Amino acid sequence: MSACALRSWQRPGYQKHSQQVPARSVARERCFRYPGGVAMRTCTDCQLTKPLADFTPIKGTRWTHTRCKPCRAARARAGRPPRVAKPHAPPGMRICAGCGVTKPLDDFSPTSGARYRKTTCKPCRAAMAKTAYVPRPKRQPPTERTCTECGVTNPIADFLRIRATRAGVYGRCRACRNARARERYHSTPSIRAAEVARASRNQKARGLRRRLQVQRAKQPEAVDTP
Ligand SMILES: [Zn+2]
Ligand SMILES: [Zn+2]
Ligand SMILES: [Zn+2]
């Protein structure tokens, strides 16, 4: 019988899958001294030989950094600016994150839906909102409009302005409005009489307004004080 007759689990040194050592740690153990079966490494900073677990692995590789974790931490700390303790405000007060002034809590608006307050004071927040505010571009009035009766799109000048509004115009064009008014005027004698009365009333009112305007222009103080 040849050696090939032995199945893998019959060969010396066979390990169940769950007992197998990952290739990565095998490679590490091969590279470093390991008394007592633990992979060790000597730190290049403190010169101490420590278990490999005390060295940070280099991400994406099978290697570790050459300095131990405490030595790396010390170097990182030395490179950072020293931590300055944050000043504490007395109870009921808060130091504004904007102006740095210590103010009572009432000067900080509550956060909506939470029991916390904003970190910047009300005046600071108001100033911030003012600088951030960008006015919305004003809506320009339309230059043309489609008549709701004849369906023709005409320039806005062909529509009657609605007196009390800034830029409102009636939905029907002047031609359609005029046609309607004419139709109504000629419909019945009573409507016609009413329209005639309304027209003369309006004319009288216009005349009165014009005269009053002229009077006001001549002597403004005499009209204002009765
Ligand atoms: Zn070290
Ligand atoms: Zn402030
Ligand atoms: Zn029309």
Residue 3 lies in a domain: no
What is the Å distance from ligand 2's center to 129 Cα? 13
What is the Å distance from ligand 2's center to 130 Cα? 14
What's the pLDDT score for residue 25? 53
The pLDDT of 162-186, averaged and rounded, is 91
67 and 111 housed in the same domain: no
Residue 38 lies in a domain: yes
- Strand-pair partners of 146: 153
Which residues have CB less than 5 Å away from ligand 1 (the ion)?
43, 45-46, 68, 71
The pLDDT of 193-222, averaged and rounded, is 90
197 and 177 housed in the same domain: no
Q: Which ligand is nearest to the CA of 121?
A: 2
CB 159 within 8 A of CB 146: no
Q: Which residues contact 166 (CB under 8 A, 6 or more apart)?
A: none
Query: In this model, does residue 29 exceed pLDDT 70?
Result: no
31-45, 60-74, 99-113, range with the lowest pLDDT: 31-45
Domain harbouring 158, CATH code:
3.30.60
Residue 121 lies in a domain: yes
CB 103 within 8 A of CB 93: yes
Strand, coil or helix: what is 74?
helix
- Strand-pair partners of 154: 145
Question: What are the E-state strand segments in 15-169?
Answer: 40-42, 49-51, 93-95, 102-104, 144-146, 153-155
Q: Which ligand is nearest to the CA of 102?
A: 2
Distances (CA, A) of 17 to 8, 20, 22, 37, 38: 12, 5, 10, 20, 21
What is the Å distance from ligand 2's center to 83 Cα? 24
178 and 193 housed in the same domain: no
Q: Which ligand is nearest to the CA of 99?
A: 2
Look at 177 and 220; give whichever has higher pLDDT: 177
26 and 55 housed in the same domain: yes
Residue 64 lies in a domain: yes
What is the Å distance from ligand 1's center to 22 Cα? 27
Query: In this model, does residue 14 exceed pLDDT 90?
Result: no
The pLDDT of 19-36, averaged and rounded, is 51
Residue 81 lies in a domain: no
What's the pLDDT score for residue 26? 47
What is the Å distance from ligand 1's center to 46 Cα? 4
- Strand-pair partners of 169: 161
Query: In this model, does residue 27 exceed pLDDT 50?
Result: no
First to last CA, the chain: 136
Residue 126 lies in a domain: yes
Instruction: Please name the amino acid found at residue 46.
Output: C
**Average pLDDT of the chain to the nearest whole number:** 85
Query: In this model, does residue 211 exceed pLDDT 90?
Result: yes
Residue 122 lies in a domain: yes
115 and 154 housed in the same domain: no
111-129 pLDDT, tens digit per residue, is: 988 889 999 999 999 999 9
**DSSP 8-class letter at 110:** B
- Split into its structural domains, the chain has a count of 4
31 and 67 housed in the same domain: yes
Residue 79 lies in a domain: no
What is the Å distance from ligand 2's center to 104 Cα? 11
**Which domain range does residue 170 map to?**
143-186
Q: At what angle do helices 174-185 and 189-218 cross, to 10 degrees?
A: 120
172 and 216 housed in the same domain: no
**DSSP 8-class letter at 52:** G
